[in-house]
Amino acid sequence: MSKGLPKRLDDFSGWYNELVKKADLAENSSVRGCMVIKPYGFSLWEKMQSKLDTMFKETGHQNAYFPLFIPKSYLSKEADHVEGFAKECAVVTHYRLKSDENGKGVIVDPDAKLEEELIVRPTSETVIWNTYKNWIQSYRDLPVLVNQWANVVRWEMRTRLFLRTSEFLWQEGHTAHENQNEAEEETLKILNIYSQFLEKTMAIPVLKGLKSENEKFAGAVDTYCVEALMQDGKALQAGTSHFLGQNFAKAFDVQFATSEGKKEFVWGTSWGVSTRLVGALIMTHSDDKGLVIPPNLAPIQVVLIPIFNSDEEYKSVTEKIKFVADRLKSNNISVKIDDRKNHKPGWKFSEYELKGIPVRIVIGPKDLENNTVEVARRDNLSKEIIDIKKIDSLIPKLLNEIQNNLFNKAKKFRDKNTHHVKDYNEFKKIIQDKGGFIYAHWDGSTETENIIKKETKATIRCIPIDNESSTGKCIVTGKESKGLVVFGKAY
């Protein structure tokens, strides 16, 4: 099955594209830039959704649903926002088709032109703040803590499955608060949910930080982000949490009566992660044999495969397989039995390696004699024979160990590929040769950031939150710098 999968070191990008297709995660649709997420790929997204949704609800958020379409004029109401989002969008201009008089299928009915064009949402701040205007009158109506799971569209010229597609799935949280402090706390609370989810569930270590002016969300005061490092040394922005200040409240005139009876503009946040996380998952853990999925995220944690040479053996082996599967299920482990007769065990081994199932258990006639099973780990490809009585204690522990191992491996890789540079030449050399995260001093100006981007393609990934404050000189201009920032080439 893994035939034709390029090696990561030879062609990382080709490896990624082929893996997404061969592992049945997604494919390009016939609609330019839009992908089809296949069942196995979607099951990964569902696991992410389910875990994140629980975390959002535990922190008091509720789901709702807002319209797909945004009147064109709304986009213009927040000055920065329109700059950022008006350019790449799908525009609905008509609401009817009609039969072509020349018999050539259907054509757009020119009589059904909309008075005002509708934009397919690239993000929903505008339509949501226009709604909040009616929901919020008094401090008693605050906070509003709402999230939606939705599809959005940003017209992209160059697309890659999961990483950059014209339509993608995401969640977008939009909250409204009485004061700046509460809104800022919310922004950081969500940032921590994202980093916890990425590290504990997806086993992806992340940097938490603030975006520079250049890279922040169009309409935000501050954009916080979680940044991860992929195996090719490129950075991937895995999630963002924006402190919106009163920008959208002012643009949509959302005011509330304070407990003292004064009128004030509401403070806002918005935050999101998308199906791009599936791309992050693949590029962090997977190897030349295929996907590697951390147990906490795996839709199937253990696959069970029988080995047999006769119908009689098949019967007794699959009976034992079912016994083991039941034991695992009673330990809340998700299992799949592949007892198909029309595929050889070797074919199945490759198949589930490609699909990244964390643990494979094989039982053959010899195991029946010895009361053993063979347990194989996907993360390090090691195998061992264990006593069947140890299933209950060993497999949960093993899954936990694999989860930790994947995180530690990714963390080690990131640390190895994190550099501190003193001057611009070193910076350029590392960016070109190795990539990775580079900590460097920067003078804080957009001009300097643009020079670096133009000359090296590297951008400021974030101004890390956990930074120890250290002053120094900007590597490009030599001007004063207030602290280290992290550069990298990004997806």
Which residues contact its own copies by CB under 8 A? Answer: 27, 29-31, 34-39, 41-43, 45-46, 62-73, 75-76, 82, 86-99, 105-106, 108, 117-120, 127, 130-131, 134, 146, 150-151, 153, 155, 167, 169
Phi-psi bin for 261: left (phi > 0), alpha (psi -120 to 50), beta? left
Please report the sign of the dihedral spanned by the C-alpha atoms of residue 203, residue 207, residue 208, residue 212. Answer: negative
Pairwise CA distance, residues 224 & 217, whole Å: 9
User: Shortest approach of its own copies to residue 303 CB, angstroms?
Assistant: 17
- CB contact set of 163 (below 8 Å; sequence gap of 6+): 236, 276, 279, 491
Closer Cβ to its own copies, 93 or 408, answer by number: 93
Closer Cβ to its own copies, 24 or 415, answer by number: 24
User: Shortest approach of its own copies to residue 13 CB, angstroms?
Assistant: 23
For residue 352, what are its two tokens? 């589930």
Closer Cβ to its own copies, 30 or 310, answer by number: 30
Closest CA to 36 of 154, 170, 171, 168: 168
CB contact at 8 A, 219 and 248: yes
CB contact at 8 A, 269 and 177: yes
DSSP H helices in 94-159: 125-135
Closer Cβ to its own copies, 152 or 244, answer by number: 152
User: Shortest approach of its own copies to residue 329 CB, angstroms?
Assistant: 15
User: Shortest approach of its own copies to residue 441 CB, angstroms?
Assistant: 37
User: Shortest approach of its own copies to residue 311 CB, angstroms?
Assistant: 21
Closer Cβ to its own copies, 71 or 472, answer by number: 71
Pairwise CA distance, residues 316 & 366, whole Å: 11
Indicate the SS3 state at residue 430.
helix
Query: E strand or H helix at 122, and its extent?
Result: none
User: Shortest approach of its own copies to residue 466 CB, angstroms?
Assistant: 34
Closer Cβ to its own copies, 150 or 229, answer by number: 150
For residue 258, what are its two tokens? 């304070």
Pairwise CA distance, residues 443 & 427, whole Å: 15
Closer Cβ to its own copies, 344 or 457, answer by number: 344
Pairwise CA distance, residues 328 & 308, whole Å: 22
Closer Cβ to its own copies, 5 or 70, answer by number: 70
User: Shortest approach of its own copies to residue 27 CB, angstroms?
Assistant: 8
User: Shortest approach of its own copies to residue 377 CB, angstroms?
Assistant: 26
